[in-house]
Chain A
Amino acid sequence: MTMPDEEPVWLDDAAGPVVRPYAVTGGRAKPANSFNVVALVLSTRSAPPSEVGIAPEQAKIIHLCQRPLALAEVAAHLSLPLGTVRVLLDGLIAQGFVQVNDPRQAATLPDDSVFEALINGLRQL
């Protein structure tokens, strides 16, 4: 595999490496979804399928998301930008390999029980 000759722009020394987003997504850098950074991703199967048609990064997502992880966590663990992970998720969703719970779709404020659980949970940390 060849590395595109791109020069990433860093705004923060502590930022992790951005791994060739355009290479990973096969040049399809525009996701069809606009999942929230806290959209939760859960694999629907215990392992990636053995047949072809799945990128290594998509296989990693299936492994990572055996427990629900936020989009931002998936991106952080893979050292990929959010947009690239959104593109990878498009493919995984189309194949039914992950389900995503996007809170953007849940338009209302949490109910009182959620507030209570949050407050009590934080106090008990």
Chain B
Amino acid sequence: MDYVNSERTGQATLPTAIKILIAGGFGVGKTTLVGSVSETKPLRTEEVLSEQGVGVDDISGVEAKSTTTVAMDFGRITISEELVLYLFGTPGQDRFWFVWDELTIGALGAVVLADTRRLADCFPSVDYFERARLPFIVAVNCFENARRYSLDEVRLALDLDPEVPVMLCDARQRQSSKDVLVALVEHVKRQGLTRRPEPVGH
């Protein structure tokens, strides 16, 4: 496919972009996973949120009320000229659900990273994706000194539906991160068309 024709006539065929979310608590390895499989180091983008009623047409261009900036790390994996995969690390804090809603739209599925030393950190992510009906898998990132829970113990602690895959990973390892993504895509494929993701709306 040649995108660089000068003065294209008509519409060029654009590749299909697939989006996968990488969620989990702060410091669980989201950015590490994005970086270990993506073709470049993780990129960073921001959504700026204004408080309601902010005078955006203020001719001075000066923000009158407070804004909040929510940062997202993401990476790109070019599968082919027709297919590009993007991985988005989701911001961890609950107060950024509106960004999750936005990220969830059009997402294929999500990986919830868990650290067994603080398993509760991933409860909000699990809860969110269940409610959003976005297919997800849980990947337990193996930190040193972490007590080894069995995957069944993790499943039980997270109260996961039986069809939700749970696996071990090391987000620093490219191969391991690839395995996680493959497991997610296979899970989504198995889930088929039985569900439609939708924003949760908080």
Alpha-carbon distance between A64 and B60 when the two chains are bound, in angstroms: 30
Q: Assess whether B30 is interfacial by the CB under 8 Å rule.
A: no
* Chain B positions within 8 Å of A66 at CB level: 3-4
Q: Assess whether A68 is interfacial by the CB under 8 Å rule.
A: yes
Q: Mark B63-104, 1 if CB is under 8 A from A, else 0.
A: 100111111101011011011111010010000000000110
- Contact status A72-B74, CB under 8 Å: yes
Chain A residue at minimal CB-CB distance from B50: A29
Chain B residue at minimal CB-CB distance from A68: B14
* Chain B positions within 8 Å of A39 at CB level: 17
Q: Mark B1-17, 1 if CB is under 8 A from A, else 0.
A: 00111111001101111
- Contact status B79-A117, CB under 8 Å: yes
Q: Which of B1-56 contact A (CB under 8 A)?
A: 3-8, 11-12, 14-19, 37, 43-48, 50, 56
Alpha-carbon distance between A66 and B7 when the two chains are bound, in angstroms: 11
Bin the interface of chain B by size.
Answer: 35 or more
Alpha-carbon distance between A11 and B67 when the two chains are bound, in angstroms: 11
Q: How far is the CB of B126 from chain A (nearest CB, A)?
A: 22
Chain B residue at minimal CB-CB distance from A69: B76
Known: A37-B19, A115-B185, A125-B174. A101 touches B77 (CB 8 A): no
Query: What are 13 residue pairs bridging A and B, where the CB atoms are less than 8 Å apart in the complex?
Result: A27-B57, A28-B56, A36-B19, A37-B88, A68-B15, A72-B45, A81-B48, A82-B45, A82-B48, A99-B12, A110-B18, A115-B185, A117-B80
